[in-house]
Amino acid sequence: DRLDDRINSLSEVTDLFDETILGQIPRETSLNSDARTALLRPDDDRHSFMEAYRNLRSALLYSSEAGKRPTALLVTSSVPDEGKSVTSANLAITLANAGSRVLLVDADLRKGTQHSRFDLPSGPGLSEALAQGRNWVLPEGWDLILGVLVRETTIPRLSLLPRGASTPQSSELFLSTGVDGLLKHAATQYDFIIVDS
Protein backbone atom coordinates (compact mmCIF):
# COMPACT_ATOMS: atom_id res chain seq x y z
CA ASP A 1 0.00 0.00 0.00
CA ARG A 2 2.84 2.41 0.68
CA LEU A 3 4.12 2.05 -2.90
CA ASP A 4 0.68 2.47 -4.49
CA ASP A 5 0.47 6.13 -5.54
CA ARG A 6 -2.73 5.86 -7.59
CA ILE A 7 -5.50 8.33 -6.91
CA ASN A 8 -8.57 6.49 -5.62
CA SER A 9 -11.06 9.14 -4.58
CA LEU A 10 -12.46 12.54 -5.47
CA SER A 11 -11.04 14.00 -2.26
CA GLU A 12 -7.53 12.88 -3.27
CA VAL A 13 -7.95 14.61 -6.65
CA THR A 14 -9.06 17.88 -5.02
CA ASP A 15 -6.18 17.69 -2.52
CA LEU A 16 -3.56 17.19 -5.24
CA PHE A 17 -4.82 19.46 -8.06
CA ASP A 18 -6.18 23.00 -8.29
CA GLU A 19 -8.33 22.32 -11.37
CA THR A 20 -12.09 22.44 -11.14
CA ILE A 21 -13.88 19.10 -11.14
CA LEU A 22 -16.70 19.26 -13.70
CA GLY A 23 -18.23 15.89 -12.99
CA GLN A 24 -17.82 12.39 -11.68
CA ILE A 25 -19.08 9.36 -13.61
CA PRO A 26 -19.76 6.18 -11.64
CA ARG A 27 -18.18 2.98 -12.91
CA GLU A 28 -20.86 0.96 -14.64
CA THR A 29 -20.33 -2.73 -13.99
CA SER A 30 -21.92 -5.62 -15.78
CA LEU A 31 -22.61 -9.13 -14.57
CA ASN A 32 -20.85 -10.33 -17.69
CA SER A 33 -17.22 -9.17 -17.50
CA ASP A 34 -16.87 -9.42 -21.29
CA ALA A 35 -19.87 -7.17 -21.94
CA ARG A 36 -19.29 -3.63 -23.09
CA THR A 37 -21.05 -0.82 -21.24
CA ALA A 38 -24.15 0.12 -23.20
CA LEU A 39 -24.60 3.68 -24.45
CA LEU A 40 -27.27 5.90 -22.93
CA ARG A 41 -30.74 5.60 -24.42
CA PRO A 42 -34.00 7.50 -23.78
CA ASP A 43 -35.58 4.68 -21.75
CA ASP A 44 -32.40 4.00 -19.72
CA ASP A 45 -33.01 2.68 -16.21
CA ARG A 46 -29.46 3.43 -14.99
CA HIS A 47 -30.60 6.65 -13.35
CA SER A 48 -27.43 7.58 -11.46
CA PHE A 49 -25.32 6.82 -14.54
CA MET A 50 -27.53 8.99 -16.77
CA GLU A 51 -27.73 11.77 -14.19
CA ALA A 52 -23.92 11.88 -13.91
CA TYR A 53 -23.68 12.63 -17.65
CA ARG A 54 -26.42 15.25 -17.39
CA ASN A 55 -24.51 16.93 -14.56
CA LEU A 56 -21.32 16.88 -16.65
CA ARG A 57 -23.23 18.39 -19.59
CA SER A 58 -24.60 21.15 -17.36
CA ALA A 59 -21.14 21.88 -16.00
CA LEU A 60 -19.82 22.22 -19.55
CA LEU A 61 -22.72 24.35 -20.75
CA TYR A 62 -22.61 26.74 -17.81
CA SER A 63 -18.92 26.83 -16.96
CA SER A 64 -17.14 29.59 -18.76
CA GLU A 65 -14.22 31.88 -18.40
CA ALA A 66 -14.89 35.37 -19.74
CA GLY A 67 -18.13 34.17 -21.31
CA LYS A 68 -16.57 31.51 -23.52
CA ARG A 69 -17.26 27.85 -22.89
CA PRO A 70 -15.12 25.03 -24.28
CA THR A 71 -16.26 23.66 -27.63
CA ALA A 72 -13.57 21.05 -28.33
CA LEU A 73 -13.02 18.44 -25.63
CA LEU A 74 -10.41 15.68 -25.56
CA VAL A 75 -11.26 12.62 -23.45
CA THR A 76 -8.16 10.75 -22.32
CA SER A 77 -6.64 8.85 -19.41
CA SER A 78 -3.30 7.44 -18.40
CA VAL A 79 -4.18 3.75 -18.71
CA PRO A 80 -6.23 1.62 -21.11
CA ASP A 81 -9.78 0.42 -20.42
CA GLU A 82 -10.82 3.21 -18.06
CA GLY A 83 -13.91 4.07 -20.11
CA LYS A 84 -12.69 6.86 -22.41
CA SER A 85 -14.76 5.67 -25.36
CA VAL A 86 -18.00 5.12 -23.46
CA THR A 87 -17.53 8.46 -21.67
CA SER A 88 -16.90 10.24 -24.99
CA ALA A 89 -19.93 8.65 -26.63
CA ASN A 90 -22.28 9.22 -23.70
CA LEU A 91 -21.18 12.83 -23.28
CA ALA A 92 -21.76 13.38 -27.01
CA ILE A 93 -25.22 11.77 -26.75
CA THR A 94 -26.14 13.89 -23.74
CA LEU A 95 -25.02 17.12 -25.44
CA ALA A 96 -26.92 16.22 -28.63
CA ASN A 97 -30.06 15.42 -26.62
CA ALA A 98 -29.89 18.97 -25.23
CA GLY A 99 -30.06 20.39 -28.76
CA SER A 100 -26.36 20.93 -29.55
CA ARG A 101 -24.82 19.89 -32.85
CA VAL A 102 -22.08 17.45 -31.83
CA LEU A 103 -19.23 15.80 -33.72
CA LEU A 104 -17.73 12.75 -32.04
CA VAL A 105 -14.22 12.10 -33.40
CA ASP A 106 -12.72 8.63 -32.91
CA ALA A 107 -9.05 9.58 -32.64
CA ASP A 108 -7.88 6.18 -31.40
CA LEU A 109 -6.38 5.19 -34.75
CA ARG A 110 -5.08 1.87 -33.41
CA LYS A 111 -8.11 0.37 -31.65
CA GLY A 112 -10.96 2.87 -32.01
CA THR A 113 -14.41 1.33 -31.61
CA GLN A 114 -16.87 4.22 -31.80
CA HIS A 115 -18.10 3.05 -35.20
CA SER A 116 -19.20 -0.30 -33.74
CA ARG A 117 -20.95 1.41 -30.80
CA PHE A 118 -23.13 3.25 -33.32
CA ASP A 119 -23.35 0.38 -35.86
CA LEU A 120 -21.49 2.30 -38.57
CA PRO A 121 -18.56 1.35 -40.83
CA SER A 122 -15.07 2.12 -39.53
CA GLY A 123 -13.85 3.84 -42.63
CA PRO A 124 -12.92 5.77 -44.48
CA GLY A 125 -12.40 8.17 -41.60
CA LEU A 126 -9.96 10.24 -39.60
CA SER A 127 -6.80 8.32 -40.53
CA GLU A 128 -7.48 8.86 -44.24
CA ALA A 129 -8.32 12.54 -43.66
CA LEU A 130 -5.06 13.10 -41.79
CA ALA A 131 -2.98 11.10 -44.25
CA GLN A 132 -4.23 13.31 -47.09
CA GLY A 133 -4.71 16.49 -45.00
CA ARG A 134 -1.71 18.29 -46.44
CA ASN A 135 -3.34 18.03 -49.88
CA TRP A 136 -6.51 19.86 -48.85
CA VAL A 137 -7.10 23.59 -49.03
CA LEU A 138 -9.30 25.22 -46.42
CA PRO A 139 -12.24 25.60 -46.27
CA GLU A 140 -13.34 23.75 -49.43
CA GLY A 141 -11.15 20.72 -48.80
CA TRP A 142 -12.30 20.23 -45.24
CA ASP A 143 -15.93 20.76 -46.29
CA LEU A 144 -15.45 17.87 -48.68
CA ILE A 145 -13.78 15.70 -46.04
CA LEU A 146 -16.45 16.41 -43.44
CA GLY A 147 -19.17 15.84 -46.01
CA VAL A 148 -17.78 12.48 -47.14
CA LEU A 149 -16.27 11.00 -43.98
CA VAL A 150 -18.60 12.16 -41.22
CA ARG A 151 -21.55 9.85 -40.65
CA GLU A 152 -24.90 10.64 -39.07
CA THR A 153 -25.83 8.45 -36.11
CA THR A 154 -29.33 7.44 -35.04
CA ILE A 155 -29.13 10.16 -32.37
CA PRO A 156 -30.44 13.47 -33.77
CA ARG A 157 -27.72 16.16 -34.08
CA LEU A 158 -24.91 13.66 -33.31
CA SER A 159 -22.39 12.89 -36.07
CA LEU A 160 -19.39 10.57 -35.97
CA LEU A 161 -16.03 10.86 -37.67
CA PRO A 162 -14.87 7.22 -37.39
CA ARG A 163 -11.22 6.25 -37.00
CA GLY A 164 -10.83 4.95 -40.55
CA ALA A 165 -8.15 2.39 -41.33
CA SER A 166 -6.31 1.17 -38.26
CA THR A 167 -2.70 2.34 -38.28
CA PRO A 168 0.30 1.84 -35.98
CA GLN A 169 1.65 5.26 -37.06
CA SER A 170 -1.03 7.44 -35.49
CA SER A 171 1.43 9.74 -33.73
CA GLU A 172 2.96 10.76 -37.06
CA LEU A 173 -0.49 11.57 -38.46
CA PHE A 174 -1.34 13.74 -35.45
CA LEU A 175 1.85 15.75 -35.91
CA SER A 176 0.64 16.93 -39.29
CA THR A 177 -0.96 20.33 -39.75
CA GLY A 178 -4.14 18.57 -40.85
CA VAL A 179 -5.38 18.02 -37.29
CA ASP A 180 -5.45 21.73 -36.51
CA GLY A 181 -7.20 22.56 -39.78
CA LEU A 182 -9.76 19.80 -39.36
CA LEU A 183 -10.66 20.77 -35.79
CA LYS A 184 -10.85 24.49 -36.58
CA HIS A 185 -13.09 23.86 -39.54
CA ALA A 186 -15.27 21.37 -37.67
CA ALA A 187 -15.74 24.01 -34.94
CA THR A 188 -17.50 26.20 -37.51
CA GLN A 189 -19.97 23.40 -38.28
CA TYR A 190 -20.67 21.98 -34.79
CA ASP A 191 -21.41 23.34 -31.31
CA PHE A 192 -19.20 20.71 -29.66
CA ILE A 193 -16.42 18.42 -30.84
CA ILE A 194 -15.70 15.46 -28.55
CA VAL A 195 -12.41 13.72 -29.33
CA ASP A 196 -12.08 10.15 -28.07
CA SER A 197 -8.36 9.50 -27.77
Distance CA 52, CA 1 (A): 30
Amino acid residing at 67: G
Specify the pLDDT at position 31.
46
Specify the pLDDT at position 159.
96
Specify the pLDDT at position 33.
47
Mean pLDDT of 154-180: 85
User: Residue 87 has what DSSP assignment?
Assistant: H
Q: 75-80 long-range contacts, Cβ below 8 Å, gap at least 24? A: 75/194, 75/195, 75/196, 75/197, 76/197
Distance CA 170, CA 151 (A): 21
Question: Taken in order 112, 116, 118, 124, is the CA torsion positive or negative?
Answer: positive
Distance CA 5, CA 98 (A): 38
**What does the angle CA 99 – CA 160 – CA 24 come to, to the nearest 5 degrees?**
65
The CB density around residue 180, as the number of other CB atoms within 10 Å, is 10
Which pLDDT tens digit goes with each residue over 128-164? 888 776 455 555 666 666 778 899 999 999 999 999 8
What are residue 87's phi and psi, to 5 degrees? -65, -45
Helix axes 84-97, 47-62, angle to 10 degrees: 70
Specify the pLDDT at position 156.
95
Amino acid residing at 166: S
User: 72-75 and 151-152: which strand pairing?
Assistant: unpaired
Distance CA 30, CA 114 (A): 19
Which pLDDT tens digit goes with each residue over 78-100? 777 788 999 999 999 999 999 99
